[in-house]
């Protein structure tokens, strides 16, 4: 699940989604477990859990799997693992910085998986802080333009979410990315819903201060590293500050 939220990478991700469906489900379920453990098992009182469940449902995770994950995380059912969040930093071709978020119950396994995925695919591990300084924590809500045949406009989205704390509405082609401070992401998502619109995802992400434009060959090399990282069960998100060529979108 690449955390690089540019819609330009959507085609690339959809091309491999079927082959990775099992791994994707496992990562979404893990997210739900952690959200339930930290904030309780009631989505109405736990916005992080609510959005984790919605994200899983949009990826067609069966409801039974979701319900069991909530119960395990909240302690209503045995079997929940103790996960911790770990961050790794790496450099990819083209001077692109990768910020890698892991959710794991085994530090050594995560470190090994990340290092192998990066170094075997033309990247290198980076010192702590050298990549993370290029990113900021932001609330990110993604909204598709086509809403059951109705086309959403940038002006309409801005008007609906301005009082909720939205900072920027960016046109990404097939959809919009709404950016806010991390604490405002739930209010922005609620404002989108109050306007009668659906949303693709709503979560706190690491957003780069700038994107490095790269050519098609370099973009392929970067995506190979991201795909290899995604193959690890422990890797939840990969953030990458690159802009693929226009014809890649």
The CATH number assigned to the domain holding 196 equals 3.30.70.980
- Residue 18 has a pLDDT of 58
Same domain membership, residue 215 and residue 123: yes
Instruction: For residue 27, give its domain range.
Output: 4-72
Bridge partners of 96?
92
- pTM summary value: 0.83
First to last CA, the chain: 18
Same domain membership, residue 189 and residue 234: no
Number of structural domains in the chain:
3
pLDDT value at 81 more than 80 = no
Same domain membership, residue 163 and residue 41: no
Lowest mean pLDDT among 15-24, 115-124, 160-169: 15-24
Same domain membership, residue 138 and residue 122: no
Asked if the structure places residue 247 within a domain, the reply is no
The CATH number assigned to the domain holding 18 equals 1.10.10.200
Torsion sign (Cα): 233, 236, 240, 245? positive
Asked if the structure places residue 148 within a domain, the reply is yes
- Residue 9 has a pLDDT of 47
Same domain membership, residue 223 and residue 176: no
Same domain membership, residue 142 and residue 123: no
Asked if the structure places residue 246 within a domain, the reply is no
Bridge partners of 144?
175
Average pLDDT for 157-180: 93
- Residue 100 has a pLDDT of 96
Last residue of a domain, one of 25, 54, 72: 72
d(CA 220, CA 178): 27
Asked if the structure places residue 248 within a domain, the reply is no
Query: Please, which pLDDT band fits residue 16 given cuts at 50, 70 and 90?
Result: low
Distances (CA, A) of 111 to 59, 120, 132: 27, 14, 17
Asked if the structure places residue 77 within a domain, the reply is no
* Cβ-based neighbours of 60, under 8 Å, separated by 6 or more: none
In terms of pLDDT, which residue wins out, 54 or 76?
A: 54
Same domain membership, residue 138 and residue 123: no
Last residue of a domain, one of 37, 72, 107: 72
* Cβ-based neighbours of 244, under 8 Å, separated by 6 or more: 6, 8, 9, 214, 216, 219
> β-strand 135-144 against 150-151: which pairing, if any?
unpaired
């Amino acid at each position: 699940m690449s955390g690089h939220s540019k819609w330009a990478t959507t085609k690339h991700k959809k091309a491999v989604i079927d082959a990775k469906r099992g791994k994707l489900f496992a990562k979404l379920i893990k997210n739900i477990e952690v959200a339930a453990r930290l904030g309780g098992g009631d989505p109405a009182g736990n916005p992080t859990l609510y959005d984790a469940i919605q994200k899983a449902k949009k990826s067609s995770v069966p409801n039974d799997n979701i319900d069991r994950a909530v119960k395990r995380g909240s302690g209503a059912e045995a079997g929940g693992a103790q996960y911790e969040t770990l961050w790794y930093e790496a450099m990819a071709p083209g001077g692109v910085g990768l910020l890698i978020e892991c959710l794991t119950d085994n530090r050594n396994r995560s470190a090994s998986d990340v290092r192998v995925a990066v170094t075997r695919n033309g990247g290198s591990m980076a010192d702590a802080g050298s990549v993370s300084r290029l990113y900021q924590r932001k609330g990110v809500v993604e909204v598709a333009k086509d809403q059951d045949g109705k086309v959403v406009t940038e002006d309409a989205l801005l008007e609906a979410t301005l009082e909720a704390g939205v900072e920027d509405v960016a046109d990404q082609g097939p959809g919009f990315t709404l950016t806010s401070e991390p604490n405002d992401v739930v209010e922005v998502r609620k404002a989108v819903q109050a306007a009668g619109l659906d949303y693709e995802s709503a979560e706190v992400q690491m957003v780069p201060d700038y994107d490095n434009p790269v050519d098609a060959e370099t973009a392929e090399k970067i995506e190979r590293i991201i795909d290899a990282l995604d193959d690890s069960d422990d890797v939840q998100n990969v953030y990458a500050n690159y802009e693929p060529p226009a014809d890649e979108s």
